[in-house]
Amino acid sequence: MTAINNEAPRNPNANADTDTRVNSPALATQQALARLYAVRPHWRAVACARDAVGLPDFTLLHAGPPYTDPCNPAPPVLSSAVLCCLYEKWATTEAQAEQLIATGQVKLLSAQSFGVVTPLAAVVSPSSTLVEVVDANASPTARRAWSLTGSGAGPQIRFGSRNPQVLARLAWRDTVLASELAAALERAGPIDLFPLAAAGLAAGDDLHARTTSATAALRAQLSPFIDEPSVAAMLADTPLFFLTLWMAACHLMMSAAAHGDNESADTDAASTLVIALAGNGREVGVRLAGQPDVWTTCPAAAPAGPRLDTVAAHIAAAPLTGDSGVIDAAGFGAHAFVLAPEPATAFAAWLPAGWRDSQPTVLTGQHPAFDARLHGVLDAAAVVRRSVEPLAAIAMIGADGRTGLIGRGVYAAPVALFKAALQAR
């Protein structure tokens, strides 16, 4: 197990001489939960990463904890990074792009250090269109989170392949789709994500493996403001469009659990809430509310689950890749399978015996805005105390960095990872 600092530096304005941190894990966790519950995530805007988070040229953002050697990322992430180098015109061939990455001329950094979460092997480049989710109960500039804008079915940057069709999809996303969504949000105003998530849960979504109903509710709200036929068609044909919006919302809530009303507030160092569960294709990592700048990592296993087809059945799945485990850590995803018959049935052969009873025991609290059958936020102390591996619903992609999506997946995070995170405090 390894504990590493996230790339984001601590706020230099914080008063190092004032320690208001609490020493009781129970009290610290309750305070963190109160901050989390106070967040009301609204989708406010879309913006390119260059403008949204100041992402400079020759810099790419990947999911999960920072790489030990960012010049040698996991094959699916490397493939996505190569495509982004071609898309940004930093290189004209795959070989040139690989050389830029291998020599560090193109830097790969952890997306979460920029307040961004990205799905699977998706890499964020300066031109990437991000959704911006803000806390409606706080100053819009005080608390924000971003994730990639979904762009439909077919070849996608998040699947970690070298499919050249992805380049055309990126161009459409960052021109036609970005322009249309920006105009629609300008007319519609910020969109409250809680009613959409609640509608999804009520209709059988878990909000990770399945977001069909939440997406339909979003489409119904957004459609009157959409004029471009290709965008309307994409929204109608993309049942997972809500996913990255909900990733950003969960990241926003988890960030609030780690901080007070502003980013310079002292953290409650004793809090054992898990605010990030993510993989970079080699390692799985967690961050705790009490020490939000520190990743604790270990080698990652691959998710397991039903394959797309007989061809995909023979492809090795990549070790856990993606930031979307933040949804499960927030109490949704695999922890909402009790409300989601379709994914629960699809994953039945890969779920541990007694999961309906054991999984709630590693969660603490209950969000007042959602169904009473949901059981709060992942707690590292509870994971260790109960010795239960918490689940996350994360898709499978090919380990070769060529095949792309191979199936739906569920991942069981090792108890030892959470024990090491507690010991690192």
Query: Which range has the top average pLDDT, 18-27, 210-219, 312-321?
Result: 210-219
On whether residue 362 sits in a domain, the answer given is yes
Interval 190-201: pLDDT, tens: 999 999 999 999
Please indicate, yes or no, whether residues 67 and 191 belong to a single structural domain of this protein.
Answer: yes
- Positive or negative: CA dihedral 212, 215, 217, 220: negative
Please indicate, yes or no, whether residues 217 and 239 belong to a single structural domain of this protein.
Answer: yes
- Positive or negative: CA dihedral 134, 138, 142, 143: negative
On whether residue 397 sits in a domain, the answer given is yes
The pLDDT, as a whole number, for residue 152 is 85
What percentage of the chain carries pLDDT values higher than 90?
A: 85
| 142 token code pair | 């005080």
CA–CA distance, 68 with 277 (Å, rounded to integer): 18
CA–CA distance, 164 with 158 (Å, rounded to integer): 13
CA distances from 404 to 75, 88, 105, 220, 397 (A): 11, 21, 26, 31, 5
Please indicate, yes or no, whether residues 27 and 116 belong to a single structural domain of this protein.
Answer: no
Using CA atoms of 86, 243, 76, 175 in order, give the dihedral in degrees to the nearest 10. Answer: -10
Contact 197, 370 (CB under 8 A): yes
**Mean pLDDT rounded to a whole number for the chain:** 92
**Domain residue limits at 168:** 39-248
- Residue 125: give its domain's CATH number: 3.90.1710.10
Please indicate, yes or no, whether residues 73 and 115 belong to a single structural domain of this protein.
Answer: yes
CA–CA distance, 180 with 189 (Å, rounded to integer): 14
The pLDDT, as a whole number, for residue 23 is 58
Interval 394-404: pLDDT, tens: 999 999 999 99
Nearest to 74 by CA among 313, 402, 395: 402
Strand, coil or helix: 317: strand
Please indicate, yes or no, whether residues 217 and 290 belong to a single structural domain of this protein.
Answer: no
Angle at 102 between CA 62 and CA 113, to 5 degrees: 25
Interval 19-71: pLDDT, tens: 444 458 888 889 999 999 999 999 999 999 999 999 999 999 999 999 999 99
On whether residue 161 sits in a domain, the answer given is yes
The pLDDT, as a whole number, for residue 268 is 75
Interval 367-388: pLDDT, tens: 999 988 898 999 999 999 999 9
Is a pLDDT exceeding 80 seen at residue 220? yes
Q: Is 0.85 surpassed by the pTM of this model?
A: yes
The residue behind tokens 């990205």 is 118
Please indicate, yes or no, whether residues 328 and 313 belong to a single structural domain of this protein.
Answer: yes
Q: How many domains does the chain have?
A: 2
On whether residue 253 sits in a domain, the answer given is no
Interval 334-356: pLDDT, tens: 999 999 999 999 999 999 999 99
Please indicate, yes or no, whether residues 149 and 229 belong to a single structural domain of this protein.
Answer: yes
- Of 193-202, 226-235, 267-276, the one with minimum mean pLDDT is 267-276
Is a pLDDT exceeding 80 seen at residue 290? yes
Angle at 235 between CA 234 and CA 241, to 5 degrees: 110
The pLDDT, as a whole number, for residue 13 is 34
On whether residue 146 sits in a domain, the answer given is yes
CA–CA distance, 332 with 327 (Å, rounded to integer): 6
On whether residue 92 sits in a domain, the answer given is yes
What is the 3-state composition of the chain as percent helix, strand, coil, each rounded to the nearest 5?
40, 20, 40
On whether residue 16 sits in a domain, the answer given is no
Residue environment code for 394-425, b if the CB has 16+ CB neighbours within 10 A, otherwise e = bbbbbbbbebbbbbbbbbbbbbebbbbbbeeb
Please indicate, yes or no, whether residues 373 and 228 belong to a single structural domain of this protein.
Answer: no
Contact 254, 18 (CB under 8 A): no
Give the mean pLDDT of 91-105: 98
Please indicate, yes or no, whether residues 63 and 202 belong to a single structural domain of this protein.
Answer: yes
Is a pLDDT exceeding 60 seen at residue 266? no
- Positive or negative: CA dihedral 211, 281, 73, 83: negative
Please indicate, yes or no, whether residues 48 and 30 belong to a single structural domain of this protein.
Answer: no
Give the mean pLDDT of 220-245: 96
